[in-house]
Amino acid sequence: MSDAYAGRRERLREHCSATGADAALITRAANVRYLTGCPPCGATLLLTRERALLALPDDLPPDDAGEHLIVEDVTRMPVAAGADTVLAAAAAAAKLRVTDLAVEEHDLTVSRHRAVAGLAEGVRLADLAQAVERLRVVKDEHEIADLRIAAEIADQALGELLESILVGRTERHLAMELERRMIDHGADRAAFPVSVGTGSHSGQQAHQPTDRRVEEGDFLTVVLGARYRGYGVSTARTFVIGAAPAPWQVELHRLVFRAQRAGREALGPGVEQYVPDQAAREILQAAGHTEGSPHPVGHGIGLEIREAPRLGPSDMGKLDSRVPVTVGPGVHLPGRGGVRIEDTLVVRPLEEGGPELLTITTKELLAL
């Protein structure tokens, strides 16, 4: 992994040289981790042409291994507890006689930007923009391996829950249990708050679990994801509780299943980002289901749960190989409930087998 981090930093150095900067100040936690392996802890990376200097709080507790997993070729600069690592790194840039410093303006507050400018006297500041985020879009095989493990953990936790008694339990309790199960199976933590919706809450976008109890005949929608070594996945499944599903439930589930499959099958290198959304949306719209403010059918995923690229109706960029994305259409009928089905996949060319499915829990309409 040390070579992988070094390669990432070298690509960023090349970007800086091409834009006239001789150093970069990296403050966004996910970007610091991408370049150094340092987990979120308030650290700041100063990357010059000759060195990588990581300013991090000196009061960090050790991790489970008794140390912090940071690659060896990065120099650590301890910063006193309570002090701002961004300002410490900016002061170091001035001492190293940096002349043109690129900063992540989209991450810095106005006050911190002013403080950096004050400390780095004589240093010209420029906007690095989202250069590191663009580097992060295409994953290497180390990253994809971590995503596979995260998906396995989420699938295992969900599979165990489906074997338990669900009737009478609350959405909130089921969500808490899923988060615990993922941690028990090796996750860093849940990639995002688990969503469990039953009955009229099922199929809703970003539903917050409540004290509503699971009842016979309900749809049950679960949206969850595990985070492993910083990398997260997302998956959603909808089931029916108790007896055989009603005809309207079978029809709605079959519709969303078809839409989700169409979105998955549309993925591929060189495909316009809007195409998977269009493929899924056309099936839903043909059945009379439209949204006033449509959510994109999917998005990139990795060190952050929502990354580039976005798979929405107006997104015009093209997909690359080895880009992990979600595909998750849904339909919610107010007062009745609905269906949401989502997977995390890695874009691959057809000669490599096409999109690689990471989340493999069955999408069939099971009666639990």
Q: Which two tokens stand for residue 135?
A: 């580097």
Mean pLDDT of the 299-322 span: 96
- Does residue 4 carry a pLDDT above 80? yes
Beta bridge partners of 100: 124
Mean pLDDT of the 67-86 span: 82
Strand segments (E) across 147-282 = 189-190, 195-198, 219-224, 226-228, 231-232, 235-240
Type of residue numbered 346:
V
User: What pLDDT score was predicted for residue 66?
Assistant: 39
What is the percentage of the chain residues whose pLDDT exceeds 70?
96
- Contacts with 42 (C-beta within 8 Å, 6 or more apart), sequence order: 29, 56, 57, 85
**Pairing, β 307-311 against β 337-340:** unpaired
Q: What is the pLDDT of residues 84-124, one digit of tens each?
A: 999 999 999 999 999 999 999 999 999 999 999 998 878 99
- Does residue 65 carry a pLDDT above 80? no
Q: What is the pLDDT of residues 313-333, one digit of tens each?
A: 999 999 999 999 999 999 999
pLDDT grade, residue 259 (50/70/90)?
very high
| Global pTM value | 0.94
Asked whether 161 and 361 are in contact (CB, 8 A), the reply is no
Nearest CA-CA partner of 313 in 288, 291, 344: 291
